[in-house]
């Protein structure tokens, strides 16, 4: 696909500065883009690369030093970049219908515009909404609701009774509605606690590959609207993840913990169970949250504490060698003073 900069500016709601008749046919990083490609500058750190770029046009926030280039000026160049990618790489909607190799319960309700791929299994009383695509090998249990315009990649599992909102994206290997990890231990035997709740995935959620979201014990585990979850994340039973959160790869959240909206847990971090973690919280990579956190907290470390405290403690530990030396020097000096003080009293008396 080729498109003039004038047309592209119109579609991206950007202001064109330069030659509107120039055509581009794709998007590339600053250092790889050629004259027929669009590139973008959203981080001022790369300003010099932008100046030097051979790109046919640049998405930028302001004209600045880049007057020599064709520019598409927009307050959000990175969002415009995402939109430009979608323009140059349109996703082909597969043909609607149920593949003959799929096994769909007779009483399942599949929208006529939905696509059910090969070797999919869908259980009784489940529904798949208009425009949704279910990839090959996915298993949807009984009484599951999948909304409209979802993209479910191959080999996802959605267990009985769970629901997925509209415009959700579920990546391959993800499991929604596995049993929560609950046992009543009596005399050394772990008796299973039935997990009779379900999982509710709200609208506009994206779950990465091989993610696990356990069903609730009594009520539902919930992933809030607009939340984006990376690969290999674990969400335990009864967890309530707020709206527009970001859970980066390999995060683990223990049972019954609540996250407010717009909270971010960085890669490989974790949270203990039964915690209340506020809105807009940032948990650093590898950190482990063991206590409730107020809105806007920024924490690091194991156990997690305010990021600044953690940084200071880390710096002090790094300087511990110096402190040890200072204490040893003090001991030597005091020994010396002692030697100078010690003999005197008898002389004076």
Rounded least distance, CB 321 to its own copies, Å: 6
Which CB atom, from 7 or from 179, has the smaller least distance to its own copies? 179
Tokens matching residue 220: 């539902």
Q: Which residue among 22, 54, 228, 291 contacts its own copies (CB under 8 A)? A: 228
Tokens matching residue 258: 């609540």
Which CB atom, from 9 or from 156, has the smaller least distance to its own copies? 156
Rule CB under 8 A: say whether 338 interacts with its own copies: yes
Distance (Å, whole) CA 301 – CA 254: 17
Q: Which of 46, 41, 49, 104 is nearest to 74 (CA)?
A: 41
Burial class for 293, CB neighbours closer than 10 Å (0-12, 13-18, 19+): buried
Peptide bond before 303: cis, by omega within 30 degrees of 0?
Answer: yes
Rounded least distance, CB 148 to its own copies, Å: 17
Q: Which residue among 9, 14, 27, 110 contacts its own copies (CB under 8 A)? A: 27
| Sites for its own copies among residues 186-215 (CB under 8 A) | 186, 188-194, 196, 206, 208-210, 212, 214
Binding marks (x or -) toward its own copies, 107..146, rule CB under 8 A?
----------xxx-x-------------xxx-x-x-----
Rounded least distance, CB 107 to its own copies, Å: 15
Residues touching its own copies, count (CB under 8 A)? 106
Backbone phi and psi for residue 140, each to the nearest 5 degrees, phi listed first? -115, 125
Using DSSP, state whether 325 is helix, strand or coil: helix
Q: Which residues contact 132 (CB under 8 A, 6 or more apart)?
A: 111, 114, 115, 146, 147, 148, 149, 150, 151, 152
Tokens matching residue 235: 């969400």
| Sites for its own copies among residues 33-72 (CB under 8 A) | none
Which CB atom, from 31 or from 65, has the smaller least distance to its own copies? 31
| Sites for its own copies among residues 280-299 (CB under 8 A) | 285-286, 288, 290
Which CB atom, from 65 or from 295, has the smaller least distance to its own copies? 295
Rule CB under 8 A: say whether 178 interacts with its own copies: yes
Which of these segments, 5-13, 24-32, 46-54, 56-64, binds its own copies (CB under 8 A)?
24-32
| Sites for its own copies among residues 236-255 (CB under 8 A) | 236, 244, 246, 248-250, 252, 254
Instruction: For Cα atoms 99, 102, 104, give the angle at the middle one, nearest 5 degrees.
Output: 115
Q: Which residues contact 239 (CB under 8 A, 6 or more apart)?
A: 214, 221, 222, 253, 254, 255, 256, 257, 258, 259
Evaluate whether 268 touches 301 at the Cβ level (below 8 Å): no
Rounded least distance, CB 67 to its own copies, Å: 25
Rule CB under 8 A: say whether 326 interacts with its own copies: yes
Question: Hey, which residues are catalytic here?
Answer: 237
Rule CB under 8 A: say whether 327 interacts with its own copies: yes
Tokens matching residue 339: 């030697």
Rule CB under 8 A: say whether 267 interacts with its own copies: yes
């Amino acid at each position: 696909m080729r498109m003039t900069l004038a047309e592209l500016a119109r579609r991206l709601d950007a202001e064109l500065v330069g030659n509107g008749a120039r055509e581009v046919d794709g998007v590339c990083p600053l250092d790889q883009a050629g004259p027929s490609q669009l590139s973008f500058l959203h981080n001022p750190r790369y300003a010099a690369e932008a100046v030097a770029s051979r790109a046919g046009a640049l998405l930028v926030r302001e004209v600045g030093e880049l007057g020599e280039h064709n520019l598409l000026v927009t307050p959000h160049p990175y969002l415009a970049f995402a939109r430009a990618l979608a323009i140059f790489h349109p996703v082909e909607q597969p043909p609607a219908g149920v593949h003959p190799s799929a096994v769909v319960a007779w009483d399942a309700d599949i929208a006529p515009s939905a696509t059910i791929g090969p070797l999919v299994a869908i259980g009784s009383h489940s529904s798949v909404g208009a425009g949704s695509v279910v990839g090959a090998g996915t298993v949807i249990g009984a009484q599951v609701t999948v909304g409209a315009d979802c993209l479910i990649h191959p080999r996802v599992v959605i267990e009985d009774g769970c629901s997925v909102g509209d415009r959700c994206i579920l990546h391959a290997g993800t499991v929604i509605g596995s049993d929560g990890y609950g046992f009543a231990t009596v005399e050394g035997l772990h008796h299973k606690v039935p997990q009779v709740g379900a999982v509710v995935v709200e609208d506009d959620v994206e779950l990465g590959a091989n993610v696990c979201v356990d069903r609730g014990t009594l009520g539902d585990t919930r992933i809030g609207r607009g939340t984006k979850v990376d690969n290999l994340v674990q969400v335990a039973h009864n967890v309530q993840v707020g709206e527009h959160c970001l859970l980066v790869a390999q995060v683990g959240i223990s049972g019954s913990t609540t996250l407010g909206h717009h909270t971010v847990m960085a890669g490989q971090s974790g949270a203990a169970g039964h915690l209340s973690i506020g809105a807009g919280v940032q948990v650093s990579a590898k950190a482990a949250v063991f206590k409730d956190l107020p809105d806007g907290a920024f924490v690091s470390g194991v156990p997690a504490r305010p990021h600044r405290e953690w940084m200071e403690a880390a710096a002090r530990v790094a300087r511990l060698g110096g402190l040890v030396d200072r204490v040893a020097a003090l001991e030597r000096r005091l020994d010396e003073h002692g030697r100078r003080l010690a003999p005197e009293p008898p002389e004076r008396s």
